[in-house]
Chain A
Amino acid sequence: MTDSLIADSADRLMAEVVTPAAVRGLKDRASAAPVWMQLAESGFLDALVAEAQGGAGLSAAETLPVLLAAGRHALPLPLAATMAARTAIAAARETIPEGIIAIAAAARADDGALVAQVPAGEFADMVLVPDGDGAILLAADAAHREATGEGTFCRMRWRAANGPRLPGFDALLCGARIETAEMVGAMEALCATTLRYANDRAQFGKPIGKFQAVQQQLAVMTELVHGARAAAHLAAAAPGSMEAVAAAKVTIGEGAMEVAAIAHAVHGAIGMTEELDLHLLSDRLRRGRLRYGSEPYWAERLGRAVLAAPDATLLDFVRTRVFF
């Protein structure tokens, strides 16, 4: 499949299945089932799995359009996490389980149990949990699950952590990359919907988009979306690079705040209503920033790498460690 074929079919699928009403209705595993069934039938689940293991063998860069489309529709389900998890499981020659797989951001031992923080954990059948220098695949049913109540993640607790091990799988890195890609999709949708509103809404006898003060804000929003998309492409091209993923999480996180603020400023009071879909997208950005480490976390990791590197210039560092 070419890029635009993937993009087109992902867009069509999301528009049909991930409607604003469906997004509002997604609260837990039971409500996720009908939506998930249609997503699973799409064939995207094994897009990244190697051809030798029965998948389509696509790269992270080639499947970026699927993540962008998911973000544009504020899909709460961990479709991209499931895609990545199935790929890692297949690569480790383990059996791919049925259902929704979430990727935990962090885990710690607590009084003999394993406690993990799991974005989208409320929908998960299985969870990939960080474990040493790899990850371990655990059944969600075996855990005590406690949602935060605001949609960012679940706290999950396993008394006994038994499951297949995936050596070398960096859950935090993988989760952060997926999150940034979907955030860019949400930023694109916010920009498009705000632009439409600015052309439709009239005040003082003309569309508010005719006022320079509004135009300048929409120009900035457009710039930020283009910059964010460039960063998402970098991370997708180098999914194993801490530096590339860190660059994306930092810049996209910072851009997301500004894009959400401008979208709401231009929409005015109507943007504050439950009825308008705007908040589905701005809330997606809020969750994205909170998941898998925010900007200071990734900036610190990146900054430490810069200071430890022998490169003569920052450009040398960025050129050789982020661009591949």
Chain B
Amino acid sequence: MTSLASLPPAAIPPEDEALRPEVKAFLAKQLEDMPPERRARSWMGSDPAFSRALGQRGWLGLSLPKRYGGAERGFFARFVIAEELLAAGAPVAAHWITDRQSGPLILRYGTEAQRAFYLPKISAGEIFFCIGMSEPNSGSDLASVRTRAEPLPGGGYRLNGRKIWTSNAAICHYMIALVRTSGTPDDRQKGLSQVIIDLRQPGIAIRPIRDLSGDAHFAEVTFDDVLMPAEALIGEEGAGWEQVNAELAFERSGPERILSSMVLVDTWLGYLKSLPAHGRDDIVLVGRLAAHLAALRALSLSVTARLVAGDSPVVHAALVKDLGTTYEQMIPQAIAAAIAADPGASPPDALLRTLAYTVSMAPSFSLRGGTREILRGMIARGIGLR
């Protein structure tokens, strides 16, 4: 039996915290006219021009070294900026995954040539990456992927297959995909590699998929005899599974696993503050929302400190994500109940639209980036049960 190590509390260093006022001022101006139901899209809403503007301010690639155009500020600086972007509901989707995991991945596993080519453009907000993991028949069972990059004599690969639920593929320049470079699907985790695919080359078709809220952020991407140079490989051939898992520690522990419903919370709070009096149930709910936000933030900061220390806290990250998304999903249901507790109440339309969007998307909070059941399985393994 093992138990999962407890993480010491962590605080944001003052020099990183100092970034906050400037980010706040920038966002107040940029988002002035954006209604809450659009801001509620959070890291699902995209605006490449907005992402480039962040890059110009030096707010992308915060954890990347200066020689690659980064800010060399580390994960806490990114935490501060991510919190403010998400709390405000800024349209960050274009660069979000690139900044969160593609940049750190290329830094960690890339060759010098790959780093020198991609990282400065990532920091400038000039190129965006999407993540090619799921396939039509490979969801939670990620090791069953069938998309194949067949090594060619003389170097390079020929790519065939299909990726699905790829967020923002249509506006991205590159995909980092988990593909099979040797063996068969029966070999499971063995023989998988990560490749960087230039999405502008022939043989690639991107078909947007409309979601239930009417947006089309995710897509199906088909590869038909796409020829890739040997340099498309990132990291080691055959080490794709380990690399993907390390990447997921970045993906799962950040503020985006806590704050997805925050625009709705603040829109509701704005409405409550406009009322002359409050019922006790509403006040108690406000307190609960604040209390859980505090505890989750503390936990997320502790995991961030492990990332700073160079660890790959995969199980702790899974734990933050499951707790955080449970909170994110509780919010729209609780606020819906609160708003209509008085059948005659007439809340503002913008609040109702923000609620409608958040309720409709909430199920995805515990699907994207690894389902709740898969995460709990990982935690069970982490505590020695499997």
Contacts and interface: CB of A to CB of B under 8 A. Distances in A.
Same assembly: yes
Contacts of A250: 287-288, 291-292
B302 A230 contact: yes
A219 B1 contact: no
A222 B262 CA distance: 25
Contacts of B265: 314
Contacts of B203: none
A300 B385 contact: no
Nearest to A236: B9
A269 interface: no
Main secondary structure of the interface of A (DSSP, over half): helix
* Most chain B beta-carbon neighbours within 10 Å: one of A195, A196, A227, A246: A227
Interface stretch (B116-124, B144-152, B372-380): B372-380
Interface stretch (A97-105, A112-120, A291-299): A291-299
B288 A299 contact: yes
A300 B1 contact: no
Interface string B281-318: 01111111111111111110010000000000000100
Interface in B250-267: 259, 262, 265-266
B4 interface: yes
Contact of B295 (A191, A234, A296, A319): A234
Given A215-B386, A314-B293, A226 B1 contact: no
Interface in B66-86: 83
Interface string A255-299: 000000000000000000000000000000000000000011011
A318 interface: yes
Main secondary structure of the interface of B (DSSP, over half): helix
B17 to A, nearest CB: 9
B294 A244 contact: yes
Interface in A208-244: 209-210, 212, 214-216, 218-220, 222-224, 226-231, 233-234, 237, 243-244
Nearest to B316: A226
A228 B296 CA distance: 9
Nearest to A251: B295
Contacts of A199: 1, 384-385
A237 B373 CA distance: 34
Nearest to A196: B1
Contact of A210 (B293, B296, B377, B385): B385
A255 to B, nearest CB: 9
A219 B376 contact: yes
Interface stretch (B54-62, B233-241, B272-280, B353-361): B272-280
A215 B296 contact: no
Contact of A323 (B1, B11, B259, B323): B11
A314 B262 contact: yes
Given A295-B288, A307-B269, A226 B376 contact: no
B280 to A, nearest CB: 6
Contacts of A300: 280, 283-284, 287
Contacts of A246: 287, 291
A231 B294 contact: yes
A303 interface: yes
B269 A314 contact: yes
Contacts of A227: 295-296, 299, 323
B377 A212 contact: yes
Contact of B383 (A219, A229, A317): A219
A229 B6 contact: yes
Contacts of A228: 295
B299 A191 contact: no
B177 interface: no
Given A196-B1, A226-B299, A313-B87, A218 B380 contact: yes
B346 interface: no
Interface string B1-15: 101101111010000
Given A219-B377, A250-B287, A302-B290, A314 B266 contact: yes
Interface of A: 3, 61, 191-192, 195-196, 198-199, 209-210, 212, 214-216, 218-220, 222-224, 226-231, 233-234, 237, 243-244, 246-248, 250-251, 254, 295-296, 298-304, 306-307, 312-319, 322-323
Which 6 pairs show the lowest CB-CB distances between chains A and B?
A: A299-B287, A303-B287, A302-B287, A303-B286, A215-B380, A219-B376
